[in-house]
Amino acid sequence: MRRALSSHMKRWVTRSTRSLALPPTQRALFHTSFKAASTADDSQYLRALFDDSALWRQHQQRAVLSNDSPTGLLEHPLFNNAAGFDKAAQQAINQAQILVERICQAPEHGRQEMKLVIQHLDKLSDTLCIVIDLAEFLRNAHPDPALMNAANKAYTDLCTYMNTLNTDTRLYKVLAKVLDDSTIVSQFTPDEHAAAIVFLRDFEKSGIHLPDAQRQQFVELSDRIILLGREFIQRQPRAASHIQLARSQLQGLPSSFLAQVSNGDVVDLATDSIDCQWILKYADQPGIRRQVYEAINSANPDSIELLEWLMRTRAELANLVGQPSYAHLQLQDKMAKNPDNVSIFLRTLLQHQLPITENDMRLLQQSGNTTTVNAWDRDYYMHKHTLTQPKSTSMPYFTVGSVIQGLSRLFDHLYGVHFEPADMRPGETWHEDVRKLDVVCERDGKIGSIYCDLYGRQSKTTHAAHYTIRTSRRLGPGQYQLPAIVLTCDFTGGNHSSVLSMFEVETLSHEMGHAMHSMLGRTDFHNVSGTRCATDFVELPSILMERFVSHPDVLALFTDRQDIKSSLQSYLQQRQRFSGIEINNQILMSMIDQQYHAAHTSAFVHGSFSSVQLWHQLQDKYGSFASVPGTMWPVQFGHLFGYGAGYYSYLFDRTLANRIWNTCFAQSPLDRENGQAFRDRLLQWGGSRDPWESVAHVLGGKDGDLIALGDEKAMSTVGDWGIDV
């Protein structure tokens, strides 16, 4: 039973906003101008509702007066109190159990019932996911601890039940029997066949096809991996937790910083604090920088042992189900297909980016007046180079409302869809800052809803994310379940207007790229709709959306400033500074993720696997800087557990998005024909179509022909396309 991660590879962001309340006269003008919901430009009203909390409250009061029928959180009727959460979970289990028994009894009722098995499996998955996904979001974002705990309990109970379904051999045998019947399979729609294959693969990834003894071993190994992964993420990995330095050795550090961190003549710094980054950036003495670098990249022996134990256990799990390595197990249903193809992509990309990386290194050498730049010199020389560059023209700051307004206009240009403010019923929202949007298509009417929870608060998870609450699914002829998602950010502001930096505009645009995939990826089956697709494909639409907001014609939809082109160019030049070194580092991280997870069990049995040796070999062979003896950064690389052989995905999708942008949109980013083609050829399929086919169809021509097969040649071709920096 598959349940794709509802947040998918969440993009982590830092907070860099400032607050700006609308002046009272301007607020009064808004209230007067937008007394009625309809204006000459509805997007102006949309912008005002995001930028003015008083206007939003007025809007909501009118909505309550016109519809005072209460509901539960996110329109789920039972999610209105702690007891309701438990009731919703139990109700979902009861409904699911009815479907389970119907599926298991299908062979007894003939071929007609067997034809319905995939539909019933999908409905079973949807029944559970509607509650699981909703509970997953609320346990991370609801401000009431009691309701947050109730959501967490509902989430845990349903995940436990879903795990029992993952090991229910009756379901697997019926599914396998359906797929063995060529008469039934020949009548499948493309969506239905894709959903069936996904169900089968996920069952088999859970070891359900194994004999009883091996299946029990699979469960034990899976449980052990979860425990090891949690400890790997949570434990203190460094050998040195603090480092003490003499204040007299810290020439170059701002006096205000020294005053904050020093106690007399001694400076005591935690190695996991940002204070150490200040030393690397500003300290004039290279010996001090090296001392700090070695401390913050140190590793205690227990952390190294834990990392290798995690890798060994994953290798044993893969071997149990007949795969050579954990990377082979994880990649079999991804675009990459196998670890060899990932390695080909990464090495080709590394070679393509080499001239840019080498140019960055020359700039560092010039800054340091040296031919050798050590790892501990990087930040210091980068800072010195920056001081020699002309100051960039400042980008305009955007209000949250102007970004929402601009994105609505952009999507109208590209896809013929726009945002409209949606009324919320009593009990539907979890915080007063939340806004709701209806996504309206010029052809199909309302096609889904987006809840925007964009401001930071104490009890809320502090990163930008896209949460699936409800997916598209065909309910009957011409009838679809409308998708609903939540976008979260941690912008400052909340009760008054907030302004966003360009980085935060890109962040919100990225998450809206996911949202459009969820809205437009309308399929007959919930399990392959929207962002429920391969993890090395899911980031493509969102990364592409970042490229749109780097174009002046698009930003003109967000602001009336006339100097946007020159200031944008200056911003992009500043952002691209030393990006070659940054990409090289990302490639190294992806390589070590692959190397660790591609190891065979024999390497662990014979003692030939060394996580330390592999890291230093990769860094010396491919890295911009030579490895430093005694350091072992990968013990801090928490994504080794979360991504598990999939860390390359962001680079891979960034490369694909770059090619699509340059081919289809760079010259005319508001062109409807190209936007509609991207919608029809890629977005609308969700995860129901081979992503290689979709990307090839979008690119067309020679590029499309080169990658259509999704083989080794395709991976090499994508790597050689490179990333614009």
Q: Is 635 helix (H, G, I), strand (E, B) or coil?
A: helix
| Total H helices, total E strands in the chain | 32, 13
Structure tokens at 672: 């409807």
Instruction: Quote the CA–CA distance of 568 and 555 in Å, as a whole number.
Output: 9
Q: Is 450 helix (H, G, I), strand (E, B) or coil?
A: strand
Q: What are phi and psi of 581, to 5 degrees?
A: -65, -40
Q: What are phi and psi of 644, to 5 degrees?
A: 50, 75
| Helix boundaries (H) for 235-332 | 255-261, 275-282, 286-296, 301-320, 326-331
Cβ burial, residue 249 (10 Å; 0-12/13-18/19+):
middle
Q: Is 608 helix (H, G, I), strand (E, B) or coil?
A: coil
Structure tokens at 457: 């608060």
Closest CA to 533 of 708, 337, 334, 714: 334
Amino acid code (one letter) for 271: T
Is 693 labeled as catalytic in the residue annotation? no
Instruction: Quote the CA–CA distance of 593 and 642 in Å, as a whole number.
Output: 11
Please, which residues bridge with residue 476 across strands? Answer: 479
CB 459 within 8 Å of CB 148:
yes
Q: C-alpha distances in angstroms, 375 versus 277, 371, 378?
A: 13, 13, 6
Taking each helix axis from N to C terminus, what angle separates 579-597 and 339-368, rounded to the nearest 10 degrees? 140
* Count of Cβ atoms closer than 10 Å to residue 345 Cβ: 28
Cα atoms found within 13 Å of the Cα of residue 476, Cβ hemisphere only? 0
Q: Of 136, 192, 504, 511, which residue is the catalytic one?
A: 511
Closest CA to 204 of 537, 229, 196: 196
Instruction: Quote the CA–CA distance of 240 and 270 in Å, as a whole number.
Output: 9
Amino acid code (one letter) for 338: N
Task: Give the chain's largest Cα–Cα span.
Answer: 85
What DSSP letter does each residue of 474-542 carry, written as one string?
A: EEETTEEEPPEEEEEEEES-SSS-EEE-HHHHHHHHHHHHHHHHHHH---S-GGGSTT-S-TTTTTHHH
Instruction: Quote the CA–CA distance of 255 and 251 in Å, as a whole number.
Output: 9
Instruction: Quote the CA–CA distance of 284 and 266 in Å, as a whole number.
Output: 17
Q: C-alpha distances in angstroms, 690 versus 155, 561, 606, 707?
A: 31, 42, 39, 12
CB under 8 Å to 377, separation ≥6 — which residues? Answer: 286, 289, 364, 368
Instruction: Quote the CA–CA distance of 302 and 15 in Å, as a whole number.
Output: 34
Per-residue exposure over 116-153, b if at least 16 CB sit within 10 Å of its own CB, e if not: ebbbbbbbbbbbbbbbbbbbbbbbbbbeeeebbebbbb
Return the active site residues: 511
